[in-house]
């Protein structure tokens, strides 16, 4: 099915002569120390990640925009995507996330210590996506996604943002009638302060919710987050997790960041919650 979709996209791209084309290379990297009191052996480890994205784009004389992305990290090449965009919106095909994946709360730390995992584990109902559609106008964004194959899934989301307020509602379901999720999210930002929250109700018997608060002091951004999951796990943690962190921009795409918190470990569906453990990290992030 993906081959058919890609072939169809290729035909669409021939609708007009390409008048502007470009290829860009961008990337990010991080390095630092990570602490986990339950880590077997050394509780503190040194970690680093490197990620590059190659993106190509073009435009036709008829107003169509098109392009592709591919992600390269230290161990794999993935994240291949192809898109076409116009007055009708944007259609993306490839290794993509469902329409409901945009909902969430902030994590803390330079690499993320996992405070948000409990709240966010249900939003995609364990489903994926092969094709994604999005249309935005006047602060309103509508998106939908479909996954084909043995595990068919369908998702839709509506989000709105204006005058500091944001909100959204999403629904996702797959071929298993007992696997669907409703998610609602809201946020507000005024000056240096921002607050965001979300709630998900999974038909598999789980509920997740969370909130984050960030304050920009000018020299640094301080973020605190809390999340909780009850009922059955969808592969993430059960119980509450919380933490606080900071990030300080050093200029040129370099930041120093860190976080500390109490986070629950992941559990398999049907298993009870596990005790929380102390986690922390401190390191550098780079974008170029």
Q: State pLDDT tens for residues 213-235.
A: 999 999 999 999 999 999 999 99
Using one digit for the tens of pLDDT, what is the confidence trace for 164-223?
Answer: 999 999 999 987 667 899 999 999 999 999 999 999 999 999 999 999 999 999 999 999
- Higher-pLDDT residue of 130 and 78 is 130
pLDDT score at 251: 96
End-to-end Cα separation, the chain, in angstroms: 35
Q: Is the pLDDT of residue 9 over 70?
A: no
* Residue indicated by tokens 């976080």: 259
What are the residues whose beta carbons fall under 8 Å from the beta carbon of 128, sequence distance 6 or more?
97, 98, 147, 151, 153
SS (H, E, C) the chain: CHHHHHHHHHHHHCCCCEEEEEEEEEEEEEEEEEEECCCCCCCEEEEEEEEEEEEEEEEECCCCEEEEEEEEECCCEEEEEEEEEECCEEEEEEEECCHHHHCCCCCCCCCCCCCCHHHHCCCCCCCCEEEEEEEEECCEEEEEEEECCCCCEEEEEEEEEECCEEEEEEEEEECCCCCEEEEEEEEEEECCEEEEEEEEEECCCEEEEEEEEEEECCCCEEEEEEEEEEECCCCCECEEEEEEEEEEEEECCEEEEEEEEEECCECCCCCCCCCCEEEEEEEEEEEC
pTM here?
0.89
pLDDT score at 239: 97
pLDDT score at 2: 39
Q: Which CATH class is domain 29-49+104-287?
A: mainly beta
Q: Is the pLDDT of residue 12 over 70?
A: no
| Beta carbons of 283 and 258 less than 8 angstroms apart | yes
Using one digit for the tens of pLDDT, what is the confidence trace for 65-120?
Answer: 999 999 998 888 888 999 999 999 999 999 899 999 999 999 999 999 999 999 99
Confidence class for position 130, pLDDT limits 50, 70, 90: very high
């Amino acid at each position: 099915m993906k081959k058919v979709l890609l072939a169809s996209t290729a035909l669409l791209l021939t609708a007009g002569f390409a008048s502007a084309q470009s290829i860009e290379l961008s990337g990010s990297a991080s390095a630092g120390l990570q602490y986990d009191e339950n880590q077997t052996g050394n509780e503190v480890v040194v970690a680093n990640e490197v990620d590059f994205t190659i993106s190509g784009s073009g435009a036709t004389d008829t107003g169509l925009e098109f392009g592709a992305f591919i992600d390269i990290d230290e161990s794999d090449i993935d994240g291949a995507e192809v898109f076409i965009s116009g007055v009708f919106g944007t259609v993306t095909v490839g290794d993509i996330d469902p329409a409901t994946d945009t909902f969430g709360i902030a994590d803390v730390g330079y690499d993320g210590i996992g405070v948000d995992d409990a709240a966010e584990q249900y939003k995609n109902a364990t489903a994926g996506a092969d094709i994604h559609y999005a249309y935005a106008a006047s602060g309103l964004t509508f998106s939908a996604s479909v996954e084909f194959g043995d595990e068919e899934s369908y998702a839709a989301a509506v989000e709105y943002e204006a005058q500091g307020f944001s909100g959204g509602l999403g629904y996702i379901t797959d071929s298993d009638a007992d696997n669907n999720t409703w998610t609602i999210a809201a946020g507000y930002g005024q000056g240096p302060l921002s607050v965001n929250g979300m709630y998900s109700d999974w038909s598999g018997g789980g509920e997740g919710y969370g909130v984050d608060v960030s304050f920009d002091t000018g020299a640094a951004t301080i973020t605190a987050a809390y999340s909780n999951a009850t009922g059955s796990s969808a592969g993430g943690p059960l119980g509450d997790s919380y933490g606080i962190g900071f990030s300080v921009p050093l200029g040129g795409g370099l930041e120093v960041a860190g976080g500390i918190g109490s986070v629950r470990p992941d559990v398999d569906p049907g298993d009870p919650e596990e005790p929380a453990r102390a986690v922390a990290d401190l390191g550098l992030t780079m974008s170029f």
